[in-house]
Amino acid sequence: MRPVRPRLGSQRAQRAAGSPRRRPPVRSRGVRWSSAWPSHLHQGYQFINSDGLTSTVALDDIARMEQASLPRLHYFAVVAREGSLVRAARELGTTHSNLSMQMRALEEELGGDLFERRGRRLVLTALGNEIAWYADEVSRLARDASEVARGHERPRRTPLRVGVVGAIPKALAFRLLEPALTVEGYGPVAARQDTLERLLEELAVGRLHLVLADTAPQQGGTLRLFGHPLGISELALYGTPELAEKYQGDLPGALSGAPLLLPMRGTSLRRSIERWLGEHSVRVRVEGEFDDVGLMRVFGLRGRGIFPVRAAMAAEIEDIGGVVKLGAIPGVTERYFAISVERRVRHPAVNALIESAREKLGARDEAGGAAVTSRSRGG
């Protein structure tokens, strides 16, 4: 769904916005705010332009919000985050009926629906997802301006909300997230771990900026998502010296009857390992299944079984000691994706994360690092 540009000359839109037809520019501390929305870039606070390449906003890129009042955009940002008018009204200190009226007026100003109801939840439409990012930025600038007006030297930062699937090691997740913390004006990171399906639902309603996953979003369903390839990691098997001595030899034949610790069924890595073993008719004993890589590692260090380790994390495992490498798993790799609702990511911190991850992991795919377009079932 393509966002619809509001009819700027519409008297109805002007009345709904509660503003006169012509507004004089307001200038304060180097920030120019004008009803004309000139196409050149202004000095002042940092945003991202329509190409997602700089950290300074091009005001013409949000021209669809010319008639939208700032309070309504702030209300919209809270509703998008909460996914409920009731919870948003409680946080804003207003009534449900007033907030509902404000959202209807905002939709009329912008020329399209911002939400669709799915059960008891409000889910952002394509236009709603497009506007939500700008509404968050407007709210952030309002908070920053208030801090500056009170004489505070450091304005508030905007949290980066990230979902991480349990299959990704915690140390690797930190390495991927760390560059985002260096972007001025953003942080701290609000990270949560859950299943991919639940995280994609949170992403779709605007509660997360992105999801770090070991698989691209599945095709089919109603959620339009984009998987941005971050890179590929090879894998190897590790175990205690006792297990390594007992099952030494050519892999995978030497693993016949060996105790293995594996990710939960249904994960991409579990399917890849089972396919590798099946192709060589090797039967093993699965001694543990884990959706948390860190817990699987603890069991491995205690000698409960042989477990897979990503090449990106091999040095850390070897530094810990207590386990040795049995051998590589030929042909088995793990791919990493940053999943978002945007094909071209505008969020500066998310951009920093993607670019840094591709340098560290070496994103290699047929699309040359382009986003993988798909629709997900979303659970």
Alpha-carbon dihedral 162, 65, 128, 96, rounded to 10 degrees: 100
Same fold, 11-149 and 157-379: no
For the segment(s) 157-379, the CATH number from 3.60.20.10, 3.40.190.290, 3.40.50.720, 3.60.70.12 is 3.40.190.290
Distance in angstroms (rounded) separating the CA atoms of residues 143 and 219: 39
CA distance 190 to 161: 5
Other beta carbons within 10 angstroms of residue 365's beta carbon come to 13
Under CATH, what is the fold of the domain 11-149? Answer: Arc Repressor Mutant, subunit A (1.10.10)
Put residue 119 in one of left, alpha, beta given phi > 0 → left and psi -120 to 50 → alpha: left
pLDDT value, residue 34:
30
Residues 339-354 have pLDDT tens digits of 998 888 888 888 888 8
Q: For residues 227 and 337, is the Cβ–Cβ distance under 8 A? A: yes
Distant-in-sequence, close-in-space partners of 39: CB < 8 Å, separation ≥ 6: 58, 59, 60
Helix axes of 85-92 and 96-110: crossing angle, nearest 10 degrees:
110
d(CA 252, CA 247): 10
- State yes or no: pLDDT of 321 exceeds 60: yes
pTM of the predicted model over 0.75 = no
Q: How far apart are CA 229 and CA 345, in angstroms?
A: 13
User: Domain extents for the chain?
Assistant: 11-149, 157-379
Tens of pLDDT, residues 225-266 = 889 999 888 999 999 999 999 998 999 999 999 999 999 888
pLDDT, tens digit, for every residue of 157-196?
677 889 999 888 888 888 888 888 778 777 778 888 888 8
91 vs 287: which has the higher pLDDT: 287
Average pLDDT, the chain: 75
Residue, of 41 and 94, whose pLDDT is higher: 94
What's the confidence (pLDDT) of residue 266? 82
Find the helix packing angle between 70-82 and 85-92, rounded to 10°: 130
Token pair of 332, please?
Answer: 């088995």
Tokens 């996953």 locate to 213
Looking at residues 86-102, what average pLDDT do you find?
Answer: 91
Looking at residue 182, its pLDDT comes to 79
Report residue 102 as tokens.
Answer: 């404000």
